A and B are shown apart, each in its own frame.
Chain A
């Protein structure tokens, strides 16, 4: 696979603050690349530099063969952007917002009309395009922004926190649509998020914290590195149980508040052994697949600072 995005030693200083601290990564053509980190980790700053809205202090960015820093204009029509916060004109109708975009991107009227027809049908907005955007729900606005970002056939779509502030059902719809795009359109997607569950729609992900990439791999691998399953349990004497598990099974046990967390392969087979060998009474036990929360905790020793609003069932990809 060829590289559609290549970032080398990217640095951004704001006065004394180093917001982005020498990051490098590549995005392969046609993949969804996740960029995961807590608020303030440097995600938005990175996206701004990649989309030529902000000049890097140091480093290089190539997108689709274009050096973004020395040739910002050439990159504009090759990329599409969906911003973290709304960037629609709510006094205009959905159609007018799209038309405005199309003309700014030098599309002719016929093409705009055809493209709007296709895209709006896909996201179920077609019948509402004539309404002023101020009458749209949060989810409709997001969908409108998504299709606006796609209108001019960009090679790379940047999604900056695409489901922030949306309800679980709407988030799921957006995810389905993004996965659908990856499968059916000739497009690469760069997705930033601080929601752990959201990055699971990506094929590969970089985890960023305090301006540095602390891990970069396939999402599957990031999860697998933790050991197959996660077991979380609480007992009547947590300290004692912790020592007991370490001694009997030679496993790392992490204590999170009053719970114990163990990463093991084949957790379902391990639970009976575990239960029969503990001398304290187990008050609760829970088996699950590792989430990006676990990955982040494992890599940085801290929980992600701001996790998702509601727990949404994790999307499964057909890896």
Chain B
């Protein structure tokens, strides 16, 4: 019992440090909403009318490009913030602070768990900030929708923070980390349907989309947000036909399948990160 209490305290203090460091870095908080803002306002406004041809027929039913992009922007923020939270491990190595943690009596499982939960908390905060753009985009918020989205962001954040933390535990320079991250994030981001409808895409890409974890995260967010937008049942029930949803083996992917896939992967990346922490010199 005593030792469980200690483990929880260790997880807590490591989590707290991650959050505190984030909170003190006001430039990072402000900067983090800049990119989503530009995407929504400039990119989204510019392409506003083209959603009609991209997602045939959906435009007449009240969907414009900004609304289409909004769930994807939440997903993007989740992906970028959580993957890059692995940078804190690299930075701790570079600044020597990791040694202080590793020579302490804290179990490395607790250390990795604290890091992952810290990164996930920051991700949730960051992704929630994007909702300040919701009125501008024309999406009305409800408490239920927010709760659902938070749940999804949390699972997704664990998945990608786990992945980022794993990469961070294997690398020793921030430059190297950023390079590897770009290689990992960009393909996931572009082949997810977050940016453009997955309609009439080449076969090879259709295959890659289906093995892309981030595509399932985006898909689940779109389902939740779209369903609160009052789109006609004809669209909601046939999202893949408009390029607005994933299908597997010819059937539209249901929300619970999206979430099962994301949660399973989150468990796997989280465990890999913990394992890797345990075997780090």
Contact = CB atoms under 8 A, between A and B. Distances in A.
Contacts of A79: 103
A1 interface: no
- Name, among B6, B12, B13, the residue most crowded by chain A CB atoms within 10 Å (CB to CB): B13
A88 interface: yes
A53 B96 contact: no
Interface string A125-161: 0000000000000000000000010000000000000
B7 to A, nearest CB: 10
B24 A86 contact: no
A104 interface: yes
Given A53-B102, A73-B105, A100 B13 contact: yes
Given A53-B281, A92-B17, A104-B10, A86 B95 contact: yes
B99 A83 contact: yes
B100 A76 contact: no
B105 A77 contact: yes
Contacts of B106: 104
B95 A101 contact: no
Contact of A104 (B20, B95, B105): B105
A105 B281 CA distance: 20
Given A87-B97, A100-B13, A106 B6 contact: yes
A54 B281 CA distance: 7
B229 interface: no
B99 A87 contact: yes
B251 interface: no
Contact of A106 (B24, B95, B105, B281): B105
Interface in A75-95: 76-77, 79, 81, 83, 85-92
B104 interface: yes
B50 to A, nearest CB: 44
B103 to A, nearest CB: 5
A214 interface: no
Contacts of B96: 83, 85-88
Nearest to B24: A91
Contact of A76 (B13, B17, B105): B105
- Name, among A85, A86, A99, A104, the residue most crowded by chain B CB atoms within 10 Å (CB to CB): A104
B17 A89 contact: yes
A87 B100 CA distance: 6
B98 to A, nearest CB: 8
Given A53-B281, A76-B104, A91-B21, A104 B13 contact: yes
Contacts of B97: 87-89
B148 interface: no
A74 to B, nearest CB: 9
A88 B97 CA distance: 6
Contact of A105 (B24, B99, B104): B104
Interface in B92-117: 95-97, 99-106
Interface residues of B, number: 22
Interface in B79-95: 95
Contacts of A76: 103-105
A99 B12 CA distance: 13
B193 to A, nearest CB: 37
Contacts of A86: 95-96
A81 B97 CA distance: 12
B9 A103 contact: yes
A51 interface: yes
A76 B13 CA distance: 18
A119 to B, nearest CB: 16
Contacts of A77: 105
Interface string B251-281: 0000000000000000000000000000001
A139 B76 CA distance: 44
Contacts of A51: 103
A167 to B, nearest CB: 21
A81 B61 CA distance: 66
Contact of B104 (A54, A90, A92, A104): A104
A210 B25 CA distance: 45
A267 B103 CA distance: 49
A57 to B, nearest CB: 14
A105 B17 CA distance: 16
B254 to A, nearest CB: 44
B179 to A, nearest CB: 24
Contacts of B13: 99-100, 103-104
A118 B41 CA distance: 56
Contacts of A91: 21, 24-25
A101 B24 contact: no
Nearest to A86: B96
A53 B96 CA distance: 14
Given A54-B281, A96-B20, 9 more contacts: A76-B105, A79-B103, A83-B96, A83-B99, A89-B21, A90-B95, A103-B9, A104-B106, A148-B100
28 contacts: A54-B281, A76-B103, A77-B105, A81-B99, A83-B96, A85-B96, A86-B95, A86-B96, A87-B99, A87-B100, A88-B96, A88-B100, A89-B21, A89-B95, A91-B21, A91-B24, A99-B13, A100-B13, A101-B100, A103-B9, A104-B10, A104-B13, A104-B105, A104-B106, A105-B104, A105-B105, A106-B6, A106-B105
